[in-house]
Amino acid sequence: MLRTLTTAALCLLTSPALPQSSGLPIEGNLLPGWREADGRHIAGIALDLAPGWKTYWRVPGAGGIPPSFNWSGSSNIVQAEVHYPVPKVMDQNGLQSIGYDENVVFPVIITTQSADAPIILKAEVDLGVCEEVCIPMTLQLTARLPALGSPNAAIAASLESQPRSAGSFDCEITPIKDGLALRATTDQASLKADIAVIEISTPGVWVSPSDVLQRGATLVAEVEMVPPNAQPFALARSDVRLTLIGEGRAVELNGCG
């Protein structure tokens, strides 16, 4: 992966976000959102990027830095799950990357300890932003989320924009010298995919960019997976996720047979 970093790469943003007139290419804000009847709270992380800059999806492609989220110091939360709207497939100095430009809202679904109490949410967001060069940045955001809150159109629209779930898919898994090869086959080729992304939750395993072939109504994607010890390994088929992205839409298939 080609990536250029500057010596002043690590910048710190606080909430409320610094304006882009400060020279920083991104500003971030926590959207308080609303409380569901089951006690879950729906909040959002809103990012606004300077013209020409972009940031990345959970799988950034060949050129990019994936975001990560730390909720340490928050109160009245059991779990916070970040959701991703459909990303764009972009060219970055001849490399294919997956992410967002202009602006994006990441919905955050929070499981509360007490459904009737407010949340103090502290989010440390590590992410990459790129124009001609890529720089890692850290956003420190804090907000009080009231126990009721109110609907937010930007969060709701981002939730609606998530990849559509489309069941499972077929796969062939073959041991190779330094890991596994996986061949995924699906009949979801009605979506003209710009890219197919295969993910597993096993930490530390490198997954290659996929080679994609569409044959009529069938799409085939092939990747290699290499763990840190560069040996074949056991892989649960239920743990494999395939996401097809194209035409401003995305389809997500979980588990392979």
DSSP state of 16: S
Cα distance between residue 3 and residue 9, in whole Å: 12
> What are 31-45's pLDDT values in tens digits?
999 999 999 999 999
> What are 3-12's pLDDT values in tens digits?
222 222 333 3
pTM (2 decimals)?
0.85
Which residue type sits at 8?
A
> What are 40-71's pLDDT values in tens digits?
999 999 999 999 999 999 999 877 889 999 99
> How many alpha carbons fall within 13 Å on the CB side of residue 59?
21
Could you please report the per-residue DSSP string of 141-178? EEEEE-SSB---HHHHHHHHTSPEE---BEEEEEEETT
Give the three-class secondary structure for 239: helix
pLDDT for residue 211: 81
Which of 175, 224, 221, 162 shows the shortest CA–CA distance to 194?
A: 221
Residue 257 CB neighbour total at 10 angstroms: 8
- Write out the E strands in the chain: 12-14, 26-35, 41-49, 54-61, 68-70, 79-82, 88-92, 95-101, 103-111, 119-130, 134-145, 164-165, 170-176, 179-186, 195-199, 206-207, 211-215, 218-226, 241-246, 249-254
- Written as tens digits, the pLDDT of the chain (257 aa) is 222 222 223 333 333 333 344 468 999 999 999 999 999 999 999 999 999 999 999 999 877 889 999 999 999 999 999 999 999 998 877 778 899 999 999 999 999 999 999 999 999 999 999 988 888 999 999 999 999 889 999 999 999 999 999 888 999 999 999 999 999 999 876 677 888 999 999 989 999 988 888 777 788 999 999 999 999 999 999 999 999 998 889 999 999 98
